[in-house]
Amino acid sequence: MKVLVTGGTGLVGNGIKAISCNHQHTFVFMSSRDCDLTDLESANTYFDELRPDYVIHCAANVGGLFKNMNSKVEMLEINLMMNYNIVKLSHRYNVKKLICILSTCIFPDDTSYPIDETMLHNGPPHNSNNAYAYAKRLMETHANAYNEQHNTSFVCVIPTNIYGKHDNFDLQNGHVIPSLIHKCYVAKETDDDFVICGSGAPLRQFIYNVDLAKLIMFVLDDYHDTSPIILSVDEEDEISIKHVGKLIAKAFDYESRIMFDTNYSDGQFKKTASNKKLRQHLPNFTFTKIESGLEETIRWFKDNYDSVRK
**Residue numbers annotated as active site:** 132
* Reduced 3-state DSSP string for 132-200: HHHHHHHHHHHHHHHHHHHCCCEEEEEECEEECCCCECCCCCCCHHHHHHHHHHHHHHHCCCEEEECCC
Q: Rounded to an integer, what distance in angstroms lies between the CA atom of residue 10 and that of residue 49?
A: 23
